[in-house]
Amino acid sequence: STAELFSKTVDFYLSLGLSTVRQTTHDRPQRDIAHNACVVSEAWLHLFADRLENSITLRIIHTTGDGIESKGDTDKIRIGLATLEIKTIKEILTSGGHAFTVHADPKVCSDRIVTHDPLGNDVFFTLQANSFSIPPSPEVKPLKISEPGTPIEFSLETRTPQKNIGILTSGGDAQGMNPCVRAVVRMAIARNCRPFFIYEGYQGLVDGGAKIKEAKWTDVSGFLALGGTMIGTARCKAFRELEGRRTGVLNLIKNGIDALVVIGGDGSLTGADRLRAEWPEHVQALEQAGLITKENADKYRTLMIVGMVGSIDNDLASTDMTIGACSALERICESVDAILSTAMSHQRAFVVEVMGRHCGWLALNAAISTGADYLFIPEAPPSKDDWEASMCKTLKASRDAGKRTSLVIVAEGAIDRHLNPIKAEYIKDILSTRLGYDTRVTILGHVQRGGAPAHFDRFLGTMQGAEAIEAILRAKPDTPSLVIGMLENKITTQPLKEAIELTGQVAQSIEGKDFARAITLRSSAFSKQLKSYKEIANFNPDSKMKLPEHLRLRIAILHAGAPAGGMNTATRSAVRLCLNRGHTPLGVHNGFPGLMRGEITEFDWLSVDGWTIAGGSKLGTNRDQPTPQLGAVAYQLQKNGIQALMVIGGFEAYTAVLELARNRSQYPAFNIPMVLIPATVSNNVPGTEFSLGSDTATNVIVQATDMIKQSASSNRRRVFVIEVQGGNCGYLAVVAGLSGGSTTVYTPEEGVDLSRLQRDISHLRSRYTKELGRSEGRITLCNEKASQIYSTDMIAKIYEAESGGFYGARTSVLGHLQQGGTPSPLDRCRANTMAVDSINWLQARCWEGMDVPNEDNIRLPADKLKRKYFPPVYSSSSESAAMLGVIGSEVRFTPVEDLVMQTDFKRRVPRAIWWSAARQLIDILSGVGVDIEHGGCTAVYKSCAIDLTADDLMRLYGRTRRLSKLGGSPTAV
């Protein structure tokens, strides 16, 4: 009878350890609306697990009549239970007379048990939680009993891993190491390799045992937002000895590791390359000692090594940026920005010491980013022996001009030209005794290494980590050890030995007092930054840079479009450079409408004090174009004697400059040099890879996603769809998605359709069903114009509607948060470089436009005037209206008219992009199309790294200083 079947089913589950929460027999049948049946009896049983998400509740009901109709096998319930007591389960099933089958589980060297409850539902018992452990419904329905079918067979596809790859971090920790480790682990699994953590650096390699462990996909969840290194680092004396390295080789072979990824400084990478060079000798010695078999010796004849530089000093000579440098600069700027507020209150002087024993990159960029008054770095010591007097004179001039504070940045390895150390305390004593300033010293120390990594370090670490795996898979036995770097905004692979030798030459050049060579070995932007800093850092009324009267210019600066971080920094740098050279800088308030109304003021030195760290637009900005009142614009340019125009802004600024240039024949006042500095969070202006404000906005998005993901993770099963800005350009969504760990991103370039949403929902359901209480919060970034139909809100609703109850979905719109806040250090440094280059370019074009040819014997048509009747500066060529672009680390000026063919004006975006490689990685690293359990991936990753040889490096850092491999245009969409 059905009553007997009901009792047997309840007893079956009670015997397995479930507890009765509620069991009742109703006095009269109760109508169950959900199943359209009358319930006579019901039992609620619960299995309490170590995690709430692993628990299961069953409702077993006894209905009147024929019960609920079964639709066949597809209507069966499959219940998976993970337990360590497989033997006990066998005994319980045997004593209860329940038939079961046993199947070997090759993954865990144990058995699986398959049985059926009295209703015919499948029940599985496994040692580890897997996809079969997930009940698709919390309810067991009464079904018609049929004859037991064929026992279920389990077949797992087996693949031979391509490589077993060890991963270690060594030397000083650096923010960005964890994102790099995450990328290496997940890319290795996606490329059907087995990654292994080697804990505590080389010490773990020597110790072996539990310090070498296979890494799983979920082991690196949450790594993106964590500073330091989660797999540890330690100094290892044993590894410096031959026997210690031989022990490390034995431990690698024991674990089957045939490739090694090392993330650390030049010392760590040197150690790795030495291990590679000695490898055949170690293998032979281990075989002769009987510690490994001949088979293993033959199998592990070579070890491939790929290094990545994790160093906050940014001290590897052959790369523009190392992992951790950008985050350390963020920490410094946060601290100094805070110091300046108290210094301002008390009119104090501060001497701030930052890290950099042989490299002044941190100190230089911190000085630029914070507006420091004086700087000491190892590569460029003071040129005079009595540098103390020169420093005091410079700082006093700024104070006399009205400045309330003095800030000196000193690298820990700063020296004078005789190689004597320059220490912060000594500088303090000089300022206190000679100038009488109330001076304080702040040594930032290890705070520079701490905190969550900035967006750029996450992005760089992730891209380089993925390329490290690709380099290993491309390598041949004779491929030298490689280091992954970045030059001209392109990921590179370089021979490790030569890269380290170049780095060593920096210290040698400093010790040999060849400071010019030391600067040359730094990144291509280093010397330019240093020169520009010296020009604008201080007020110099009697500066040698002052130009003759007839070469001095009146230069107007105008903001247009939406506000973006770095606008004010660029303005400050331009103004102070103009003043030191004798030019007259003019500020145009409130964009082109302000220019039409004549809202123009002359800048002085102090009027831009503090603008370095100010977000938004101090001059005021809007999206209005000059087109309706071109005559008014021309009138004000002529009335105020403006001889050059600097426009700072986004796409609206680009179209405005283009409009002015195209109307030069109608308005002679427009025949002046004009330059556009791109500044827009959307990064959607043609002719440049980076716009001011885009790095600041990306950092805001990444910080917001970290907090939102924390909320989602606390809930365990929640997905947030986050809307970001960008217009029709997906740059923000892609780079922030990669840095923030987005599950996927929706961009206008790709669009959104149902098939894409179905794929993403299927992936989400798959992950949440397999994580069993270890579920993490997930985010998806959606560009504001990714689709006209599928809005952010609609995507979230579709996510939730199709979730099957496994997760919920919420939305978050970041909005104008992305345009505000303090500019990031990268945006500040770029703003400074762009402003200085723009003034230099305007200056040169103006002087060219001052040439007046001898036209005495020339007869012109009646409607044309001779040059001598035009203003002193007159430049009508198309080349004199240009966009300043940053391509790699090079600054280029492109006539705005030449950019027309590169622009999609309808969508307001450039026709080419450079960040497509990042888009590939987002889906792969979130597991879309990846067999996470067994390895392999259906998605194809196209490597973007450029392979450099030793000869390439010698040319790049020799006299040539250029390399054709690093040239070329961005990838077309």
Q: What is the DSSP letter of 19?
A: E
Separation of alpha carbons 182 and 741, rounded Å: 10
User: Which one from 313, 760, 827, 923 is the annotated catalytic residue?
Assistant: 313
Classify burial at 533, counting beta carbons within 10 Å of its beta carbon; exposed 0-12, middle 13-18, buried 19 or more: buried
Closest CA to 193 of 162, 228, 170: 162
CB proximity list for 507: less than 8 A, separation 6 or greater: 358
Helices and strands, counts by H and E, the chain = 26, 33
Distances in Å between the Cα of 208 and the Cα atoms of 196, 238, 240 are 12, 13, 16
Closest CA to 142 of 64, 226, 235: 64
Strand ranges (DSSP E) for 430-575? 439-443, 482-487, 490-495, 554-560
Classify burial at 256, counting beta carbons within 10 Å of its beta carbon; exposed 0-12, middle 13-18, buried 19 or more: middle
Backbone φ and ψ of 223, nearest 5°: -65, -30
Q: Tokens at residue 504, please?
A: 């060593």
Separation of alpha carbons 60 and 691, rounded Å: 63
Q: What b/e readout covers 827-864, taking b as 16+ CB neighbours within 10 angstroms?
A: bbbbbbbbbbbbbebbbebbbebbeeeeeeeeeeeeee
Letter for the amino acid at 152? I
Please tell me whether residue 311 adopts helix, strand or coil conformation: coil
Backbone φ and ψ of 560, nearest 5°: -140, 150
How many residues can be counted in the chain?
A: 973
Please tell me whether residue 506 adopts helix, strand or coil conformation: helix
Q: Tokens at residue 576, please?
A: 């102070």
User: Contact 248/262 with Cβ under 8 angstroms?
Assistant: no
What is the torsional sign of CA 710, 711, 716, 717?
negative
User: Active-site residue 313, yes or no?
Assistant: yes
Separation of alpha carbons 20 and 23, rounded Å: 7
User: Contact 199/211 with Cβ under 8 angstroms?
Assistant: yes
Separation of alpha carbons 852 and 870, rounded Å: 10
Separation of alpha carbons 859 and 32, rounded Å: 103
Closest CA to 176 of 473, 457, 370: 457
Give the H or E element holding residue 13: helix 2-15
Task: Point out the residues that are catalytic.
Answer: 313
